[in-house]
Amino acid sequence: MAVLAVANLATYFFRREGVVKAVDGVDLAVARGEVLGLVGESGSGKTVAGLSILGLVDPPGRIMTGSIRFDGEELVGRSEAELRTYRGRKIAMVFQDPMMTLNPVLRIDTQMIEAITAHEPVSPRAARARARAALAAVGIASPDERLKAYPHQFSGGMRQRVVLALALAAEPELVIADEPTTALDVSVQAQIIALIKRLCAQHGVAVMLITHDMGVIAETADRVAVMYAGRIAEIGPVRDVIKAPHHPYTRGLMGSIPSLDSEADRLVQIPGSMPRLTAIPPGCAFNPRCPHAFGRCVVERPYLIPLGRSEAACWLYDEASAGAQAVAETAP
């Protein structure tokens, strides 16, 4: 059973220059013990999707339509007080910049104990013991000493571990990790990736991993959803999507990554750029950049079409599109 099920989620921001359709009809689900990767270009709506799940979208943004069900309970329409009972305790979020998450003038123990006691009726002594255990769980040596330290006394990788420990201290069922490996060197990235996978395997925590790095997705995720202009372009098991992508946008993304096995002289380049979210073209949002676009692509928005274990929002694979199957078979 999915711990999180999102259906037709749309989150818009109403600004003077127009309506920003940051998330525009997204469907996805995350099961217990699973890592779902959410990947896409900057501005594709990944972070807003994560914030929407926690009800952290501030004006002028608001959720327009859709359903967000956590453990079978609907979150859309809940009051701020009701949502606070989910944040941290049941659903935790790891933000991109740990220095923006941690208070620079408070010791680590103060911040962790406050987070734990805010969600559970435990004594400060018990909360401190849990904070220490959380630091040890994420691989921080000498946790008793580290609890007394301030954020500036940690390296970037250590701060990210502290933020993960802070998120896990209340033992949530779902963790939304927004770019947890950004600005970290390769060796520290590998440690954070291994930590996330271990937490899922040992504790059954569901993880939504938001990133723009397909390498991180390949190493960490069980399934991946590719976002483009606020929409899901393709979703499926990570190995299937990487080895045999269906959507032209996903094929472009994978073709732009250098491979040690390839002898190609040039990498694939996707022409143009992602449209402004205030002016998403009609039909398929990718149609102005797609080399396989045809008439239906510019007038009708595609839905996710089952393709084996994956799904792709592309009319190339719809039997109702004349000649689509032939085009799909010849597509690179």
The CATH number for 52's domain is 3.40.50.300
Under a CB-based contact definition with an 8 Å cutoff, are residues 158 and 186 in contact? no
Q: Are residues 233 and 115 in the same domain?
A: no
- Contact of 234 with 250, CB cutoff 8 Å: yes
If one counts the domains in the chain, the total is: 2
Domain identity same for 244 and 158: no
pLDDT of 327 > 90? The answer is no
Of the chain, the end-to-end C-alpha distance in Å amounts to 36
296-305 burial string, b = 16+ CB within 10 Å, else e? bbeeebbebb
Region 174-202: what's the mean pLDDT? 81
The DSSP bridge pattern shows strands 91-94 and 174-178 to be parallel
Residues 171 and 234 in one domain: no
Q: Place 310 in a pLDDT band, splitting at 50, 70 and 90.
A: very high
pLDDT for residue 313: 96
Q: Provide mean pLDDT across the span 201-217.
A: 87
Which residue segment(s) compose the domain that 299 sits in? Answer: 228-330
Residues 220 and 237 in one domain: no
Q: Are residues 82 and 168 in the same domain?
A: yes
As a whole number, mean pLDDT of residues 100-124 equals 89
Last residue of one domain, picked from the residues 224, 249, 282:
224
What's the confidence (pLDDT) of residue 72? 92
What confidence tier does 96 reach under pLDDT thresholds 50, 70, 90?
confident
The predicted pLDDT at position 183 comes to: 66
Same domain, 280 and 159: no
Query: What pLDDT is attached to residue 260?
Result: 66
**Both tokens of residue 146?**
């580290």
Same domain, 260 and 121: no
**Burial of residue 282, with CB atoms counted within 10 A of its CB: 0-12 exposed, 13-18 middle, 19 or more buried:** exposed
Mean pLDDT, to the nearest integer, of 230-258?
A: 92
pLDDT at 195: 80
Q: What is the pLDDT of residue 138?
A: 81
Q: What is the reported pLDDT for 331?
A: 52
Mean pLDDT on 156-185: 83
Residue 16 has pLDDT above 80, yes or no: yes
Boundary residue ending a domain (194, 224, 254)? 224
The least confident of 165-179, 230-244, 262-276 is: 262-276
pLDDT surpassing 90 at residue 296:
yes
What does the pLDDT average to over 261-265? 69
Q: Are residues 137 and 286 in the same domain?
A: no
Same domain as 85, residue 23? yes
Query: Whose CA is closest to 86, among 16, 12, 176?
Result: 176
170 and 255 part of one domain: no
- Say what the pLDDT of residue 97 is: 75
Check residue 264 and give its pLDDT: 66
| 203 and 245 co-located in one domain | no
Do 104 and 241 lie in one domain? The reply is: no
Among 181, 81, 255, 118, smallest CA distance to 131 is for 118
Q: 177, 199, 224 — which closes off a domain?
A: 224
% residues pLDDT > 70 (the chain): 94
Q: Mean of the pLDDT values across residues 32-51?
A: 92
Band of residue 98 on the pLDDT scale cut at 50, 70, 90: confident
pLDDT at 12: 97
* Mean pLDDT over each residue of the chain, to the nearest integer: 88
Strongest mean pLDDT among 92-101, 211-220, 265-274, 279-288:
279-288
> Lowest mean pLDDT: which of 50-64, 183-197, 318-332?
318-332
Looking at residues 287-307, what average pLDDT do you find?
94
CA distance 107 to 18: 43
Is residue 323's pLDDT more than 60? no
Task: Between 186 and 206, name the one with better pLDDT.
Answer: 206
More confident residue, 89 or 31: 31
Tens-place pLDDT, residues 232-244: 999 999 999 999 9
- The three-class DSSP label of residue 151 is helix
Q: In the prediction, which pLDDT does 325 show?
A: 46
